[in-house]
Amino acid sequence: MKNRSYDLVVFDWDGTLLDSTGAIVKAIQAASRDIGVAPPSDEKARYVIGMGLREALQYAVPDLAESRYDALVNAYRRHYLSGDHELTLFEGVETLLQELRAEHRWLAVATGKSRVGLDRALGHSGLGHYFDTTRTADQTRSKPHPQMLEEIIGQFGVDPERTLMIGDTTHDLQMAQSAGAHGLAITHGAHPLDVLLECQPVGVVDSIPDLANWIKRSG
């Protein structure tokens, strides 16, 4: 792989590797009903996926009194965690990670989940050993701020231009742009294609097998 373009490959988690978009939307809506406020639309709830949880809920349910967001956060966690063990990875994820490891690339996760939430997800999925490092929204600033990705890049001393950030939302792609990295959009998650294209990703794929082929050709 002497001629490869990327030494560091960073993945978003929800909606990119894990098929969790629908579950997150339903948990946001159910949590809103629990505390007696109108739930956000599917579109609005999908938009906030990838952001840190509190920031996401403040955007999705903007008219709530500040003192009530803790209750909304707790209700969301209750609903999401009741079924997260049943969520599945997108087809081809583990095969892709195995291939990238065999090519001696650094692999990382940059996610809007909490540290506890990501560790739980990595445990359920069995993927933790594939990643050299991970960052969560409660360890650093939430997407789309670049700090999360900048910390990962700095940990390995990699040129940002040789870093590929893969995600299903504009938050991922904007973070990559701001960090000087390349963002690649995958369309099977939270944000629609037309919105992703506005961020001018270096590539667009529709599935994990498509992603594997893109990396073989261009990565």
Q: Which residues are catalytic?
A: 12, 14
CB atoms within 10 A of CB 88: 11
Among the residues of the chain, which ranges form H helices?
21-34, 42-47, 53-60, 69-81, 93-102, 115-125, 147-156, 170-179, 193-197, 208-218
Measured distance CA(58)–CA(66) in Å, rounded: 9
* Tokens 């940059």 sit on residue: 110
Measured distance CA(40)–CA(60) in Å, rounded: 6
Measured distance CA(137)–CA(197) in Å, rounded: 24
SS3 letters for 15-38? Answer: CCCECCHHHHHHHHHHHHHHCCCC
Measured distance CA(199)–CA(195) in Å, rounded: 7
User: Can you name the residues that pair with 18 across neighbouring β-strands?
Assistant: 14, 89
Measured distance CA(41)–CA(13) in Å, rounded: 22
Q: What single-letter DSSP state applies at residue 67?
A: G
Measured distance CA(55)–CA(71) in Å, rounded: 14
What token pair was written down for 58?
Answer: 């403040």
